[in-house]
Amino acid sequence: MKKEIIKIQDLKREFTMGDETVHALKGISFTIHEGEFVTIMGSSGSGKSTMLNILGCLDQPSSGTYEIDGVLVKKLSRNELAKIRNEKIGFIFQAYNLLPRTTSIENAELPLIYNNKVSTEERHKRAVDALNLVGLGQRLDHTPAQLSGGQQQRVAIARSLVNDPVVILADEATGNLDTRTSYEIMALFQELNHKGKTIVFVTHEPDIAEFSSRTIILKDGAIIKDEFNNDVQDAAAALAALPKED
């Protein structure tokens, strides 16, 4: 049996809005093992953002338990949560969220700035390595304005890799990209997954889900489908099959 990276049990999250209590998550349980590539799908309002915030240790559940890499995330302080995010999680956002007018290297090394155990030299080296891995070895000193959307997302992926996280959380990571670039990014995610990275990918595009090994579908705060994909599509092949551009 592979290591349990994410383990949630009967997870509930409620928000109070005025007099009303909104049940965003109504008792969810699942376990993600090391090396899995999971897509979480659902329409807006299904609770997938709330789910992702909790998985990313940006938010705490109202009840139920959440364990990440064996650490029980419950009643942790803001600073302890920050430490877990820093050491165990790699974030990728729909809007890339790179620092403007800042080079790829400086963007990629950002998480390590908040880790005192990593020296300046080590930080620099790891940022360069990560950028090489995502295929941006030639654009180390470019600022986001000098990069295409796909390249910016690659910088963001490099940033999520530098701290060697136990899980990469991607929030609609291809949402702002065209089909071709989306497939390129998915090919990169598959490559990272083959190297052993655990990936949780939130999306609402069904074709993206075909590239993952498991899909969890949420509706109204509950899981309506959780199944393994026996027919994982190869993103690189899908990319090659796309009609050639002029």
- What is d(CA 212, CA 111) in angstroms, rounded to the nearest whole number? 26
Handedness of CA 237, 243, 245, 246 (dihedral sign): positive
Q: Which one, 33 or 125, has the nearer CB to another protein?
A: 125
Q: Which stretch binds another protein (CB under 8 A): 6-14, 89-97, 129-137, 233-241?
A: 89-97
Q: For the window 173-192, what string marks contact with another protein as x by the rule CB under 8 A? A: --------------------
Return the residues of window 63-82 that contact another protein according to CB under 8 A.
78-79, 82
Task: Give the one residue of 39, 163, 182, 203 binding another protein; rule: CB under 8 A.
Answer: 163
- Asked whether position 22 contacts another protein by CB under 8 A, the answer is no
CB of 91 to another protein, least distance (A): 5
- Asked whether position 87 contacts another protein by CB under 8 A, the answer is yes
Strands lying side by side in the sheet with 167-171: 89-92, 167-171, 199-202, 37-41, 214-219, 222-228
- Asked whether position 47 contacts another protein by CB under 8 A, the answer is no
CB of 128 to another protein, least distance (A): 18
At position 103, the amino acid (one-letter code) is T
Contact 174, 154 (CB under 8 A): no
- What is d(CA 189, CA 192) in angstroms, rounded to the nearest whole number? 5
Task: Give the one residue of 13, 48, 85, 214 binding another protein; rule: CB under 8 A.
Answer: 85
CB of 116 to another protein, least distance (A): 7
| Assigned token pair, 216 | 């969890």
- Asked whether position 93 contacts another protein by CB under 8 A, the answer is yes
Q: Which one, 110 or 236, has the nearer CB to another protein?
A: 110
CB of 146 to another protein, least distance (A): 16
- Asked whether position 116 contacts another protein by CB under 8 A, the answer is yes
209, HSE (Cβ side, Cα atoms, 13 Å): 18
- Asked whether position 44 contacts another protein by CB under 8 A, the answer is no
Task: Give the one residue of 9, 60, 62, 115 binding another protein; rule: CB under 8 A.
Answer: 115
Task: Give the one residue of 126, 159, 197, 214 binding another protein; rule: CB under 8 A.
Answer: 159
- Asked whether position 58 contacts another protein by CB under 8 A, the answer is yes
| Alpha-carbon distance values, 204 to 45, 62, 72, 101 (Å) | 12, 25, 29, 31
State the DSSP string of 195-223: TT--EEEE-S-HHHHTTSSEEEEEETTEE
State the DSSP string of 109-155: THHHHT-TTS-HHHHHHHHHHHHHHTT-TT-TT--GGGS-HHHHHHH
- Residue ranges in contact with another protein by CB under 8 A: 53, 56, 58-59, 78-79, 82-83, 85-87, 91, 93, 97, 99, 101-102, 110-111, 113-116, 159, 163
